A and B are shown apart, each in its own frame.
With several copies, the nearest count.
Chain A
Amino acid sequence: MRRVTKNVRENRTINTVYFNDEESSRARPGQFVMVWEPGYDEFPMSLSNYDSKGLCSVTVKPWGPGSGEMVKARRGDLIGIRGPYGRPFTVDKSSALLVGGGTGLAPLLPLAKALVKEGGRVAVVIGGRSKPDLLFEEQMRRAVRRKNLFITTDDGTYGHKGFPTDLAESMIKERRVGRVYTCGPEIMMRKLYDISVTAGVEFEASLERGMKCGIGICGSCTVGKNLLCRDGAVLDAKDLKDSLDEFGVLQRDQSGRYIKV
């Protein structure tokens, strides 16, 4: 088990919880870990930071008992971490557009850093309902050039008024975007998928599904024929093509029944 080293409040709901873990610190952008909050739950979380010294973090929004306990974590608390698991985002020099909403920014932060390091052009759109819901503005500002960071709020309290998808759409049309990367509400990601495919732009999204094993055994994380924990959590347009009746539409609940995403 790992000890929490610090817990940083990011905005009114979201916290980033830090811990030391050698293995996770060798992750690649978009990989996730299974986080065990003893007595509560075990759940998948994207790694939002990992450095060469073994310091890692996950960025949590409270939903149920597990994440609800996790945001309250205190220095020294014990949590279980296994991973890193899953297929990472592609890191290359294609001109990148990153679009994130809510905790979806978590995997996009290390991705932005990796892409910049690789030397490609990187633009980021951060979306939120309102100013206090925005995540990682500061961190992204440090990661990419000022002119390449865009903020949208649904209510216009900060940055561009509107949905991140609208801004992204115009950027895809105006600029030379090689690949769209996204993580956030699935309906947003589905919209971006449609936009990207129409524009003939590459597309990668990190999806969320209920997970039990994280290692391709239990089958609880299916999106079509894909096991999200193994074939994803990052799926590209090709993976998603056969699952358009699910992606952004339906997901399986714990019992395996379809419910709306």
Chain B
Amino acid sequence: MVGPSLRVSLAGLRFENPLMLASGIVGVTVPSLTRAIDSGAGSAVSKSIGLEPREGYRNPTLVATQDGGLLNAVGLSNPGARIFAEELSEVRGRHLPIIVSIFGGGPVEFSRVVDILDSQEFLAYELNLSCPHVEGVGTEIGHDPEVVASVVKAVRSRTKKPLFAKLSPNTHKIVEIARAAVASGADGLTAVNTVRAMAINVETTKPTLTHKYGGLSGDAIRSIALAKIYELYEEVKVPIIGCGGVSNWEHAVEMMLAGASAVEMGTALYQGYGVFQDVNRGIVAYMRRKKFRKVQEMVGLGH
């Protein structure tokens, strides 16, 4: 008998397995992305790339919360689209399953980033919608269905590559926003980004992060992410990439049962790059035990 297969295809893309490196995790540079792929990730999402180089906030930018979560306010540090495009050009021809995450303050900035990057060889874009809306009223882009629609439309008009809209979990309107993204041309959704949070140090009496507010990732947000994925799966008919707190095979399977066609891992990388192989092995063992032959058979089975 042939063993279960980990291959997945979504939005016209094919991956060796459903695991992905999440944006902003080790993948600041192309060598890091490559290493994730070599270590067993089916694909790797880059750090979010903006128009100009950004240094991000001063340290502390990361703090481990007592609840198994990681709080970060890195501040979207990135080398800017031009330099990242150059870096990508060096791996041209290697057909690496790289997805480029991009951000901007509104449709105009997003478009410019795409214009700079689009001729490079990579599989798809992930649109990071969790940044302040600088071109508009100043709230977070990902909380306003109209702004999301305008961003996705703008990007859609400039590239043929598949688009994944990465959603914020910090709003009660996630379904509405997902619908706006899909209606405007998104091929899939990534759910979710970090949860807004804070840590205060009782000795200094002040917030620990320099930026005060940060995004919570890791264990603490898994069950929150799971609820969002489950809800989106029932309401929106495009593939969903699950993300948030996955650090072992059981978590990955939970997400697929909720409706995720693929699963990103971020904070779990504190275990080292070996985590991709460990999780893939666990999924295969589970599939064998439960007699699933394809990943697709699990997707959404929790409904």
B74 at the interface (CB under 8 A from A): yes
Specify which chain A residues have a CB less than 8 angstroms from the CB of B120 in the assembled complex. Answer: none
Q: A47 CA to B56 CA in the complex, in Å? A: 27
Residue among A36, A212, A219, A230 making CB contact with B47, cutoff 8 Å: A219
Inter-chain contact A222/B32, CB cutoff 8 Å: yes
* Interface membership of B203, Cβ < 8 A: yes
Binds B, one of A6-14, A185-193, A248-256: A248-256
Q: In angstroms, how far is the closest chain A Cβ from the Cβ of B77?
A: 5
Tell whether, in the assembled complex, residue B28 and residue A256 are in contact, meaning their CB atoms are under 8 Å apart: yes
- Would you call the interface of chain A mostly helix, strand, loop, or mixed? loop
Contacting pair B32 A219 (CB below 8 A) = yes
Residues of chain A contacted by B80 (CB below 8 angstroms): 255, 257
Contact status B203-A255, CB under 8 Å: no
Q: Is A199 an interface residue (CB 8 A)?
A: no
Q: With a CB–CB cut-off of 8 A, which chain A residues contact B272?
A: 216, 230
Q: Identify which of residues 148-196 in chain B touch chain A, using a CB-to-CB cut-off of 8 Å.
A: none
Tell me the A201-231 residues at the B interface (CB within 8 Å).
Answer: 212-213, 215-220, 222, 224-225, 227, 230
B31 close to chain A: CB less than 8 A: yes
- Does B26 interact with chain A (Cβ within 8 Å)? yes
Binds A, one of B6-14, B58-66, B95-103, B108-116: B58-66
Of the four ranges (under 10, 10 to 19, 20 to 34, 35 or more), the interface on chain A belongs to: 20 to 34
Q: Does B119 contact A (CB under 8 A)?
A: no
User: In whole angstroms, how far apart are the Cα atoms of A39 and B203 in the complex?
Assistant: 12
CB–CB A218/B79 < 8 A = no
Tell whether B229 is near chain A: CB-to-CB under 8 Å. Answer: no
B281 interface residue (CB < 8 Å to A): no
Q: Which residues of A contact B74 (CB under 8 A)?
A: 212, 218
Q: Is B269 an interface residue (CB 8 A)?
A: yes
| Chain B: number of interface residues, binned into ranges | 35 or more
Say whether B145 faces chain A, with CB atoms less than 8 Å apart. no
Complex interface: chain B residues within 8 A of A227 (CB): 26, 32
- The answer to the question of A41 belonging to the interface, with a C-beta cut-off of 8 Å to chain B, is yes
A225 contacts B35, CB within 8 Å?
yes
A66 CB contacts on chain B under 8 angstroms:
59
| From B35, B59, B267, contact of A41 by CB (8 A) | B59
With contact pairs A41-B59, A254-B56, A255-B79 given, residues A1 and B203 touching in the complex (Cβ less than 8 Å): yes
Q: A68 → chain B, closest Cβ, in Å?
A: 13
A21 close to B (CB within 8 Å): no
The reply to whether A219 and B29 contact each other, CB–CB distance below 8 Å, is yes
Residue of B nearest to A42 (CB): B59
Task: Given the known inter-chain contacts A1-B201, A78-B203, A256-B47, please indicate yes or no for A216 contacting B270, CB distance below 8 A.
Answer: yes
Q: Compute how far the CA of A218 lies from the CA of B59 in the bound complex, rounded to whole angstroms.
A: 12
Complex interface: chain B residues within 8 A of A255 (CB): 53-56, 77-80
CA distance A256 to B53 in the complex (A): 8
Say yes or no for A38: interface residue by CB 8 A criterion.
Answer: yes
B82 to chain A, nearest CB (A): 10
Q: Which of A82, A213, A252 has the most chain B CB atoms inside 10 A of its CB? A: A213
Determine the distance from Cα of A224 to Cα of B30 in the docked complex, in whole angstroms: 9
Residue of chain A at shortest CB distance from B26: A219
B35 touches A217 (CB 8 A): no
Measured CB to CB, the nearest residue on chain B to A1 is B203
The reply to whether the CB of A158 lies closer than 8 angstroms to some CB of chain B is: no
Complex interface residues of chain B between 201 and 230 (CB less than 8 A to chain A)? 201, 203-204, 206
Q: How far is the CA of A261 from the CA of B235 in the complex (A)?
A: 45
In the complex, B236 has a CB within 8 A of chain A? no
Question: B68-106: which residues lie under 8 A (CB-CB) from chain A?
Answer: 70, 72, 74, 77-80, 83-84
CB 8 Å contact bits of A49-63 with B (1 = contact, 0 = none): 000000000000000
Q: A222-B26, A255-B80, A257-B80 are in contact. List 4 more A-B contacts (CB 8 A).
A: A1-B201, A252-B79, A256-B84, A257-B83
8 inter-chain pairs at a CB distance below 8 angstroms, sorted by A residue, are A78-B203, A212-B61, A215-B270, A216-B26, A217-B62, A218-B62, A252-B79, A254-B56
| Chain A contact residues, CB within 8 Å of chain B | 1, 36, 38-39, 41-43, 65-66, 78, 80, 82, 212-213, 215-220, 222, 224-225, 227, 230, 252-257
